[in-house]
Amino acid sequence: MRLHTVPVFTAIVGGLAIFGAAGLVLGPVVLALTDAILEIWRRRTAHGRPAEAGTSSGEAKRPG
């Protein structure tokens, strides 16, 4: 994971509090999934505008 130690530690402690012993695994998994979903959302909404489907930034749309 490319996450800082503090959020991972918090995820482990929170996972333990919510899920019990399974929280040792589930807490960091939930954190990683949330981080991935937020990253996808940030990329799709560049500066608050939804990105056009099927085109990358700077690429013109082709007909058909």
Residue spans of alpha helices (H) in 20-63: 23-44
Q: Does the pLDDT at position 59 exceed 80?
A: no
Most confident of the following: 2-6, 34-38, 42-46: 34-38
42 within 8 A of 51, measured Cβ to Cβ: no
Listed residue (13, 16, 8) closest to 35, CA to CA: 8
What are 14's two structure tokens?
């929170």
Residues 12-27: tens digit of each pLDDT: 999 999 999 999 999 9
pLDDT band (50, 70, 90) for residue 63: low
For residue 42, give the 3-state DSSP assignment.
helix
For residue 58, give the 3-state DSSP assignment.
coil
The answer to pTM > 0.75 is: no
